[in-house]
């Protein structure tokens, strides 16, 4: 299903998912606004001989070809967005995907996040390390046009190193939820 997909990895961090997907033969573009993370991601991809095209900038400033990705993937950056960025984010994902493409998200469950409400985020000028999302909230955000929810489930603990197959099956954090949504065909 994944290869030879074109993948856009949002908030790639040190590049474990981007490199894994590239090693499967996917064509991967990755973005993160941390210069250190991008440096690590480049090093990881180089060592694995799995080319990843990475950019160091906000996901909202990333350069990409609209409508060109089979998969947009995010493990851990969506839950760092305040409320006023969520619509921009959904539009970014939609713009990036091909018709019928897929979006995969791994984010904190409520018990894994800061517990801050959207209001508290603005009052405290902080996300408190990231917001947790209940299944109902994820459904409300992603099971509506132009997306439709395919899978929503809690991740399970694993002793393996986290990467994409675990994200789709059993990611290494019990306080993390995974959701997959599809753009319209
Ligand atoms: C929890 S880490 C996850 C890293 C990686 N996806 C993984 O699963 O190992 C979240 C990453 O998202 C990045 N990030 C958060 N918000 C971002 C934004 N608006 N634009 C670009 N990167 C962002 C952070 O710099 C960080 O590297």
The residues near 40 (Cβ < 8 Å, ≥ 6 apart) are 13, 14, 15
* CATH number (domain holding residue 54): 3.40.50.150
Domain contains 151: yes
Name the helix (H) or strand (E) containing 184: none
Q: Is 42 exposed, middle or buried (0-12, 13-18, 19+ CB in 10 A)?
A: middle
Q: 28 near 68, Cβ under 8 Å?
A: no
Nearest CA to ligand 1 atom 13: 11
Total structural domains within the chain: 1
Q: 8 near 96, Cβ under 8 Å?
A: yes
Check pLDDT > 80 for residue 175: no
Nearest CA to ligand 1 atom 8: 75
| pLDDT tens-digit series, residues 3-13 | 679 999 999 99
52 CA distance to ligand 1 centroid (A)? 16
pLDDT at residue 180, rounded to an integer? 65
Tell me the C-alpha distance between 12 and 1, whole Å.
21
Residue to mutate (ligand 1; options 11, 83, 92, 160; most atoms within 8 A of CB): 11
Domain contains 185: no
Tell me the C-alpha distance between 60 and 90, whole Å.
11
124 CA distance to ligand 1 centroid (A)? 21
pLDDT at residue 156, rounded to an integer? 76
| pLDDT tens-digit series, residues 59-104 | 999 999 999 999 999 999 999 999 999 999 999 999 999 999 999 9
Tell me the C-alpha distance between 112 and 175, whole Å.
5
Domain contains 1: no
Q: What is the model's pTM? A: 0.89
Under DSSP, the state recorded for 144 is S
Tell me the C-alpha distance between 107 and 181, whole Å.
14
Please give the residue range of the domain that contains residue 84: 6-180
Domain contains 18: yes
102-to-6, 49, 93 alpha-carbon distances in Å: 11, 26, 9
Domain contains 27: yes
Q: Is 89 in the pocket of ligand 1 (CB under 6 A)?
A: no
């Amino acid at each position: 299903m994944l290869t030879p997909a074109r993948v856009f990895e949002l908030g790639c961090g040190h590049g474990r998912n981007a490199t894994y997907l590239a090693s499967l033969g996917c064509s991967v573009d990755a973005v993160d606004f941390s210069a250190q993370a991008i440096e690590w991601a480049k090093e990881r991809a180089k060592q694995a001989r799995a080319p990843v095209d990475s950019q160091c900038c906000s996901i909202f400033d990333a350069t990409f070809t609209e409508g060109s990705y089979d998969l947009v993937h995010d493990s851990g950056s969506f839950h760092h967005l305040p409320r006023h960025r969520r619509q921009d984010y959904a539009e970014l994902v939609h713009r990036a995907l091909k018709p019928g493409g897929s979006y995969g998200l791994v984010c904190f469950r409520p018990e894994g996040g800061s517990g801050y409400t959207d209001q508290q985020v603005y009052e405290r000028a902080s996300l408190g390390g990231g917001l947790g999302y209940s299944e109902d909230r994820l459904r409300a955000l992603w099971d509506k046009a132009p997306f439709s929810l395919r899978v929503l489930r809690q991740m399970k603990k694993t002793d393996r190193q986290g990467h994409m197959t675990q994200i789709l099956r059993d990611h290494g954090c019990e306080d993390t939820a995974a959701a997959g949504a599809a753009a319209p065909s």
